[in-house]
Amino acid sequence: MRIHVEDAADQALVAKYQESGQHHIFDDWEDLDSSQRRGLLDALQKIDLGFIQQLIRDHMVSDPDHPPIATPTPPPLISLEDPKRELAREKGLEAIRNGELAIMLLAGGVGTRLGHPGPKGSYPLLPVSQGTLFQLFAESLWKLQKEMGTTIPWWIMTSPSNHQETVQYFRDNNYHGLNSSDVIIEPQEELPVIDARRGRILRSGPGKILFSPDGHGGAIRLLQRNANWFRSRGIKHVYTHQVDNPLAILGDPEFLGLHLLDNSVFSSKAVAKTNPEEKVGVFCQTGEHLRVIEYSELGEEERHRRNDDGELSFRAGNVAMHMIDLEFILGDESGEIPALPMPFHMANKSVRHWYGSEWHESDSPNSVRFETFIFDVLSQAPHALVVEASRDLEFAPVKNSSGNDSPESSRAALQKLWAQWLIEAGIELDLDDQGQPKRTLEISPRLACNVAQLKKVLDQITIPDEGPILIR
């Protein structure tokens, strides 16, 4: 089909796509008005087609080239009982008070499984107030800033598709009490989504390319793009957390201290897998480096191997909380940014898309998204650390709309934890035989983010005689 465009650059662009087997993009060119045509050409201009074609060839046409994984061994792990933790806490607190820490929320995902309209952070998770995930994190950060007597910048990585809504959310909610200049919201990059069968670029509607964020590894590129910002403020460490885990301890001083004491450049929290078949990536030592090995990549023998004490040898499950040394990512003062290349992975998801002048839908995955993962920089880290965390205290993700890792299970974990704090602080509370409070319960992080903080404000707490308990 001949596409008529005036401009020579546009002609070259159209020819490039047609010659690369992506001519279907212009199927409904005749039905588009001039602004839709311009929009389509501008979107195509943004895509590095050669790079995308290479990804398609390497991952979809031929089998991806997996370099053999050196025999993995369990990684050194700072256990929950490690006596270093107390000393580490002081060290971490000192670095935070010196203004060396920034926090980055990874909130660029599409959240297909949860299916919430709007950014995942705007999901109303809190059991009594119906407050959102964003609110919970913002109030935790507010509290940390107050306790530390310092400002801790909060970077929120969005993606082009949820950026505007996220910015609007924070404006509408007055940044949940944070200083707006300390909340920096910036989108990661995106790549076109590919038809799983034909290797073609998909469209989200007539004349519109379907884009998807390029994975949470995009956070590394975002940090690098903003190197001058971080350097000029004297920030040395970034704590990253994910939008779907309300139990993340923002900027955890103990974690930061362990990272510093160990001279680590990339530290990660891990929770112990108790079931060998739990489908979570685990930290492993391979050769000189740490890496995350996906459940499917770990051999049957390794998955089931146990230590003398009965614990799984490969149990350090990745829960996506990292402490990153900025010099590792940004290079030193000389200003040269290190390359840190990361491999691309394929995510297969089902998506509604526009093809051959009609909509297509599928219950099974029909599309491929190319993503990099933040932890893949581990292979270039001169020294990395894994720190064990308690699942009950730190990990209750909201991934699915029901069942495991859903709002329901996450709320239950939050309430169980808050109930334990109250009981430990000396307040009477009825629990069921699962340890769940019998009444719906919520504690605002503005008041307390842990039991020690709760004990300090006991005089401000009154428990109503009946009904839901909201402590704020």
In the complex, the residues that contact ligand UTP under the rule CB under 6 A are 106-113, 157, 188, 213-216, 218, 242-244, 371, 399
In the bound state with ligand UTP, the residue whose beta carbon lies nearer, of 135 and 188, is 188
In the bound state with ligand UTP, the residue whose beta carbon lies nearer, of 24 and 120, is 120
Residue spans of alpha helices (H) in 177-277 = 218-225, 227-232, 253-261
Q: Give all strands (DSSP E) within 133-182, no chain letters.
A: 154-158
Cα 54 from Cα 246, distance rounded (Å): 38
Count other C-beta atoms under 10 Å from residue 314's C-beta. 22
In the bound state with ligand UTP, the residue whose beta carbon lies nearer, of 320 and 441, is 320
Least distance from C-beta 243 to ligand UTP, angstroms? 4
Least distance from C-beta 54 to ligand UTP, angstroms? 20
Least distance from C-beta 63 to ligand UTP, angstroms? 23
In the bound state with ligand UTP, the residue whose beta carbon lies nearer, of 162 and 267, is 162
Least distance from C-beta 148 to ligand UTP, angstroms? 25
Least distance from C-beta 160 to ligand UTP, angstroms? 11
Quote the tokens at residue 229: 């910002």
SS3 212: strand
In the bound state with ligand UTP, the residue whose beta carbon lies nearer, of 163 and 291, is 163
In the bound state with ligand UTP, the residue whose beta carbon lies nearer, of 24 and 411, is 411
Least distance from C-beta 30 to ligand UTP, angstroms? 34
Least distance from C-beta 280 to ligand UTP, angstroms? 12
Residue spans of alpha helices (H) in 47-132 = 49-56, 84-97
Least distance from C-beta 451 to ligand UTP, angstroms? 27
How many helices and strands, by DSSP H and E, does the chain display? 14, 20
In the bound state with ligand UTP, the residue whose beta carbon lies nearer, of 59 and 216, is 216
In the bound state with ligand UTP, the residue whose beta carbon lies nearer, of 345 and 360, is 345
In the bound state with ligand UTP, the residue whose beta carbon lies nearer, of 216 and 237, is 216
Cα 162 from Cα 269, distance rounded (Å): 27
CA-closest candidate to residue 471, choices 430, 431, 434, 439:
439
CA-closest candidate to residue 280, choices 312, 317, 244, 315:
317
Cα 381 from Cα 377, distance rounded (Å): 7
> Could you write out the DSSP letters of every residue in 90-102?
HHHHHHHHTT-EE
> Could you write out the DSSP letters of every residue in 320-346?
EEEEEEHHHHH--TT-PPP------EE
Report the residue number whose CB is nearest to ligand UTP. 109
Least distance from C-beta 154 to ligand UTP, angstroms? 14
CA-closest candidate to residue 424, choices 407, 410, 443:
443
Quote the tokens at residue 208: 């519109």
- Nearest-Å Rg of the Cα atoms of the chain is 24
Q: Which residues contact 444 (CB under 8 A, 6 or more apart)?
A: 129, 139, 470, 471, 472
SS3 123: coil
In the bound state with ligand UTP, the residue whose beta carbon lies nearer, of 89 and 349, is 349
Quote the tokens at residue 48: 């590095």
CA-closest candidate to residue 165, choices 209, 197, 203, 121:
121
Least distance from C-beta 309 to ligand UTP, angstroms? 32
